[in-house]
Amino acid sequence: MKTYAVLNNQSKVVNTIVANSLDVAESVTSSYCVLIPLGTFVDIGYTYADSTFTAPPVEETPAE
């Protein structure tokens, strides 16, 4: 079994799924999916472009 990122139409990760194949992952989710390479951390909110997952920017809270 492999882990796939489920992407929305803006290439943002909206979920992850474990499936036997890309075909199964896309069939079950009715979405575009991408294999997450072993050892790569991907979470909801990451973006996918040019074969790379990128974490969202960290929001800084203003100091009081």
**Cβ neighbours around 5 below 10 Å, total:** 25
DSSP code of 12? B
DSSP code of 18? E
- Of 46, 48, 2, 49, the C-alpha closest to 23 is 2
- pTM, whole model, 2 decimals? 0.86
- Of 48, 52, 9, the C-alpha closest to 31 is 9
Q: What is the pLDDT along the chain (64 residues), one digit of tens a residue?
A: 999 999 999 999 999 999 999 999 999 999 999 999 999 999 999 999 999 999 998 887 777 7
Structure tokens at 64: 């009081």
Q: Could you identify the residue written with the tokens 């100091």?
A: 63
